[in-house]
Amino acid sequence: MGAYERTQSARWMWLVLIPCGAIIVAVWLAGPSVALNASVSILCLVILACFSVFARLTIRADADAVTWYFGWGFPGSAIPTNQIERAEVTKTNLFEGWGIHWTIWHGWVWNASGFQAVEIFKTDGGKLTLGTDDPQGLFQAIERFRKGAA
């Protein structure tokens, strides 16, 4: 059985990245002071760095575990396949947003974009939700490996 791997990109990030770049250029062209230019540029660069990390979410499922990570491998986490009780295709909502956070609806949510997801119920009673643009494919892979681990 081959491993499943999928990377979801957050295209909505351009709505933040382009204005940040425009602000940096505008402040430098206006040139009121070096301190203001540097402050605004540093702030925008920090925003750009954070957004570049959260612009992609990669999920991998294999016989050993389901692993996931943002950006270039961090932050991320994993759950061993034998600790998965079941999985379900679900949808997140606008209030749950994107990124990494806990919600009353889906437990820990890891999502880069969109509202499609797979909710994983753990054998210890916990749950987490992974956002994906291929919920059916991820669900089928988790079920295939989970049943193989049983």
Count other Cβ atoms within 10 Å, centred on residue 69. Answer: 19
> pLDDT digits over 101-113, tens only?
999 999 999 999 9
Residue 56 has pLDDT above 60, yes or no: yes
**CB-CB contact of 146 with 81 (8 Å):** yes
pLDDT score, position 72: 82
Question: Running DSSP on this structure, what letter comes out for residue 83?
Answer: G
Residues pairing with 77 in the sheet: 68
Question: Running DSSP on this structure, what letter comes out for residue 74?
Answer: -
pLDDT score, position 15: 75
* Of 118, 112, 120, the residue nearest 136 (C-alpha): 118
pLDDT score, position 1: 57
Highest CATH level, class, for 56-149: mainly beta
pLDDT category at 98 given cuts 50, 70, 90 is confident
| Mean pLDDT computed over every residue of the chain | 88
pLDDT score, position 135: 98
* Of 96, 84, 91, the residue nearest 133 (C-alpha): 91
Global model pTM greater than 0.85: no
> pLDDT digits over 76-96, tens only?
999 999 999 999 999 998 888
Domain ranges of the chain: 10-53, 56-149
Q: For residues 49 and 46, what is the distance between their CA atoms, to the nearest angstrom? A: 5
* Over residues 115-132, mean pLDDT: 96
**CB-CB contact of 116 with 131 (8 Å):** yes
* Over residues 7-20, mean pLDDT: 79
